[in-house]
Structure 1
Amino acid sequence: MNDQRFKFHRLVLVAVASLYIWALLVFEHLNGGVVSHHLLQRGDLPAISNWWGALLLPVLSWFLTGFIYKRVDESYPASIIAGFSAALLFGAVLSVLFQQGQHQMLPYMMLSLPLLALLFPLYRAEYLLGFVLVMSYCFGAVLPTIIGTLVVLMSFVLHKTLRPLLCYLWSVLTRPNTTA
């Protein structure tokens, strides 16, 4: 992809992310004040204000689109769009379940991530960007960034170490026996 087109797409994405987080912050401010979230939902742990998202989300969008650009040749491959969309969907389902009080489902979704990390490269930038963008609505930008970064690290380790090992074992176990 040519640099001018990428720069335009990058600026549009950062502008949309910035407008999105500022619209959320203004809405919160006008409806009772900007929310602060306690780590692990425990009042004895520090609270993080959603105001930090005004700085974090544009910077994170700029940073992650740089990683995406490094993998793009002429046009955005379907895998990047699919990964971004899948992360948006996963984060949206998590957020809706949390807001609806369906807390019994949340651990199962989070525990599905290691299996998904074996199947898909969840460590790529588009997954983190989609996850953080959509979850910012419910949790602000900081907590999804922290959780998403942990998922990225876990995914990288699983996808680069355990997945090749499992593929090798599968090929050994399914290889036809030629000794007779």
Structure 2
Amino acid sequence: MNAKQFFKIRLYITALLAISIWTLLAWNHFHGGIPSHHILADEELPAFSNGWGALLLPMLTWFLLYRIHKSVFGSKPGASQPPKILLNKLYGFTASLVFGILLSVFFTLAYTQLCGYMLLGLLPLGIFFPIYRPEYLLGFVLGMTFTFGAVLPTGIGIIIGMLAFGLFVSLRYIIHFLRLKSA
């Protein structure tokens, strides 16, 4: 696959997700209204309407796929990459998509403690895997969008990604420093 083909795929995926979220919001509108979700499920905190997903999800998808495009192909317009790099990106996306879906299912089934443990478990996982990368955030947000809308998963995903980035980089730096010190 080359950069031009990936650009076309990026267009198709963004359009498909835009149509999907708009269809879901239209269905919600005609079947009881578009739901809103409070931050941390606390009624005293502000609520975000799922309607914001009509703007956020296509823009987020376009931007994150752009970041994936840049990381795979660089700035060379005609560059092509081995399928292994793209396959690794797909594995990361799939793993985070499944994680987001499981988190949504457990929340819907009222296993809220398990959801908390799953979210906290991402931080130790972030030591070994680069879960701060765009493919992980995109999968996480898409996996949770049907249940929570796009705003809350995006915010949570960005916060967890920043914490995971800090852990991933700082612990690798400390290990590298200790190796140099002992040598």
Same fold (TM over 0.5): yes
Q: Which runs of 4+ in 1 moved over 6 A?
A: 170-173
**Structure 2 unaligned spans of 5+:** 74-80
Q: Does 1:85 align with 2:94?
A: yes
Aligned to 1:123: 132
- Offset at 1:170? 8.4
Say how many residue pairs are matched.
174
Aligned to 2:46: 46
Partner deviation per Cα, 1:13-64 (whole Å, 9 max, x = no partner): 1012112211221221122110011111111111111100000000001111
Structure 2 SS opposite 1:48: strand
Residue type of the alignment partner of 1:140: G
Aligned to 1:68: 68
- Offset at 1:104? 2.0
Alpha-carbon contact 1:14-1:58 (below 8 Å) kept: yes
In the superposition, the TM-score normalised over structure 1's length comes to 0.89
Structure 1 SS opposite 2:72: coil
Structure 1 SS opposite 2:37: strand
Partner deviation per Cα, 1:88-143 (whole Å, 9 max, x = no partner): 01101100000011112111101111111001001100000011111110000000
Aligned to 1:138: 147
Q: Matches of residues 154-169 of structure 1 in structure 2 within 5 Å?
A: 154-166=163-175
- The change in CA–CA distance for 1:137 and 1:170 in structure 2 (over 3 A counts) is farther
- C-alpha separation between the residues in 2 aligned to 1:109 and 1:25? 28
Point out the structure with max Rg over C-alpha.
Answer: 1
| RMSD (Å), alpha carbons | 2.0
Alpha-carbon contact 1:17-1:133 (below 8 Å) kept: no
- C-alpha separation between the residues in 2 aligned to 1:167 and 1:108? 30
In the superposition, the TM-score normalised over structure 2's length comes to 0.87
Alpha-carbon contact 1:28-1:34 (below 8 Å) kept: yes
**Structure 1 unaligned spans of 5+:** 176-180
Percent of aligned pairs with the same amino acid: 45
Structure 2 SS opposite 1:77: helix
